[in-house]
């Protein structure tokens, strides 16, 4: 069997395992993380209505200038502060973290810690 299919299947199973425990609502939306080698992104999603409330990524023009390279822990920290400020401006104080298939380590942990420091509660 093709190794890429095996790895993709394992990644999907990890993501499903996390997502079956994490549900977003209007009171406590889901903070979903998207990570690649060179960029980092996140969305605050209300699963009841299926709407994205707040989003930020290292590819955004206003974020790109202050971050520079988007694939490191420093960029994840800055993005955590930015998304927390945007969420608090929309009236969201508590979220549930959806790390997807990523481990809570490195960039994901740096992002979550920065968002907590900026005022979001997980």
Select 3-117's CATH number: 3.30.499.10, 3.40.50.300, 3.40.190.80, 3.30.420.100. 3.30.420.100
DSSP code of 26? S
Q: How far apart are the first and last CA of the chain?
A: 40
Q: Where are the domains of the chain?
A: 3-117
State pLDDT tens for residues 60-74: 998 888 888 989 999
Q: Is 7 exposed, middle or buried (0-12, 13-18, 19+ CB in 10 A)?
A: exposed
DSSP class of residue 29 equals -
Whether 90 has a pLDDT exceeding 80, the answer reads yes
- Residue 96 pLDDT: 93
Contacts (Cβ under 8 Å, ≥6 apart) of 89: none
pTM (two decimals): 0.87
């Amino acid at each position: 069997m093709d190794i890429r299919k095996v790895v993709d299947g394992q990644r999907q199973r990890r993501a499903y395992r996390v997502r079956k425990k994490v549900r977003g609502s209007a009171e406590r939306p889901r903070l979903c993380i998207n990570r690649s080698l060179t960029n980092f992104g996140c969305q605050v999603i209300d699963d009841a209505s299926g709407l994205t409330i707040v989003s930020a990524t290292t590819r955004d023009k206003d974020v790109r200038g202050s971050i520079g390279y988007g694939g490191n822990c420093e960029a994840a920290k800055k993005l955590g502060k930015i998304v927390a400020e945007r969420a608090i401006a929309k009236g969201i104080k508590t979220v549930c973290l959806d790390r997807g298939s990523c481990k809570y380590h490195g960039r994901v942990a740096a992002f979550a810690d920065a968002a907590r420091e900026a005022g979001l509660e997980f």
